[in-house]
Amino acid sequence: QKEVEQNSGPLSVPEGAIASLNCTYSDRGSQSFFWYRQYSGKSPELIMSIYSNGDKEDGRFTAQLNKASQYVSLLIRDSQPSDSATYLCAVNGARVTGGGNKLTFGTGTQLKVEL
Amino acid sequence: ETGVTQTPRHLVMGMTNKKSLKCEQHLGHNAMYWYKQSAKKPLELMFVYSLEERVENNSVPSRFSPECPNSSHLFLHLHTLQPEDSALYLCASSQDLGTDYSNQPQHFGDGTRLSIL
């Protein structure tokens, strides 16, 4: 069983629409959740972090967390062509030997915003 | 400079070569990481350093050898690599390792695209 699951896509949405990206995770004890955006050939860029149940908004981005159902989602309002990228979900997971814990990443969802 | 800087951006090497990847972070962070990113696969954590001490070796073959001389610099020494080692190698840093089940966000460098002939 994958620890962090995402639909690989591509998810195609028209410009100006809301894009909804979903992620489920297996470790019920996880407390930290992150969304990264990765353009082709570039490194992952942190766009949102969320630690508590509910919604967290930052500009056009809203992260939603439901720990009981073990899913986290990212909504992008007024989608723009520049939002076309792969979105990686990351969840804290297994302990690191020296303390703290690892981030476990999903395979990412490719988003395409069409004109 | 700010953020996390990786050099070189691209590297092509033969299977018998020895090369090193370099990472430098200017964020004042205490934890640094090496990841491997292959097509269609999740990011794979390779090594974790905290305050220059290696705290995790995620079952990585010995042909990859990390070095962390100080909290700002991280190296990955490569020797006798295999074609399947061709990938994007990403360095990241975070303020610290975090606590039980709680992480600080990690910030990534632009990566080194490695190709093994």
Q: Residue B97 and residue A100: Cβ atoms within 8 Å?
A: yes
pLDDT surpasses 80 at B71: yes
Give the model's pLDDT for residue A2: 60
Higher pLDDT, A71 or A99: A71
Dist. CA B12–CA A66, nearest whole Å: 44
The minimum CA-CA distance between B114 and chain A, rounded to whole Å, is 12
Check: CB of residue B110 under 8 Å from CB of residue B9: yes
Element at B18 (helix H, strand E): strand B18-25
Q: Express the helix, strand and coil content of chain B in percent, nearest 5 each.
A: 5, 55, 40
Give the model's pLDDT for residue B83: 93
Which residues of A, range 53-92, sit inside 8 Å of B by Cβ? 88, 90, 92
pLDDT in tens, A27-63: 888 888 999 999 988 889 999 999 999 999 999 999 9
Instruction: List residues bridging with B35 in a β-sheet.
Output: B45, B90
Residue B1: pLDDT band with limits 50, 70, 90: low
Q: Residue A103 and residue B48: Cβ atoms within 8 Å?
A: no
CA dihedral over B82, B84, B90, B93, signed as positive or negative: negative
pLDDT surpasses 90 at B103: no
A36 three-class SS? strand
pLDDT surpasses 70 at A99: no
Residue B25: pLDDT band with limits 50, 70, 90: very high
Tell me the chain B residues in contact with residue A45 when contact means C-beta distances shorter than 8 Å. 108
Q: Residue A31 and residue B105: Cβ atoms within 8 Å?
A: no
CA-based nearest residue in chain B for residue A109: B40
